[in-house]
Amino acid sequence: MKNVLKRGVISFFISSFAGVSVNLIIDCIVNASGREGFISMSPDFVKLFPTPVVAAYVNIILYGLIGFTFSAMTFVYEIERIGFVFQSIIYFVVTAAVCLSITVILWQLHKYPAAFAGTLAGYAVTHVIMLVVGYRNLKKDIEEINEISGGSV
């Protein structure tokens, strides 16, 4: 459990930093192109807070929470009694519940179709990549076990 929390905390900070960095780059480019006062947060999200600065801090925490969830939930792949497909389903459902509720409900993305579609596409691509990497690692582990035991796949 200690390693799960450690991975989660590290991912919290990495995700927070990455989110701030991406937002900063977007804000700088858009503001430099002549659209002064642009901030890369949903206007409806910003309205939930007393100032845009508070909204930005909460946004950073939410980025971190998403990273924490993705990282901490990897513990499900360490449970040997359940199969890879079931592990993947559990991982997907839990991360979807946390991450999509943040991105859709809190950031009000359902009001911005392009941002909503981009977020869903990014989420789906992330899971496909993770599933492929996990499957390849699992297959490699099975091949190594079979080589040691003298069996074949």
In the chain, what percentage of residues exceed pLDDT 70? Answer: 98
pLDDT in tens, 135-149: 888 888 888 888 887
- What's the pLDDT score for residue 64? 92
Residue 130 placed within a domain:
no
Query: Which amino acid is it at 27?
Result: D
pLDDT in tens, 7-38: 899 999 998 999 889 888 988 898 888 888 78
How many separate domains does the chain show? 1
- What's the pLDDT score for residue 151? 57
- What's the pLDDT score for residue 35? 83
Residue 67 placed within a domain:
yes
Residue 27 placed within a domain:
yes
Residue 48 placed within a domain:
yes
Q: Distance (Å, rounded) from C-alpha 102 to C-alpha 9?
A: 18
Residue 71 placed within a domain:
yes
Q: Show the domain range for 26.
A: 2-112
Q: Distance (Å, rounded) from C-alpha 29 to C-alpha 22?
A: 11
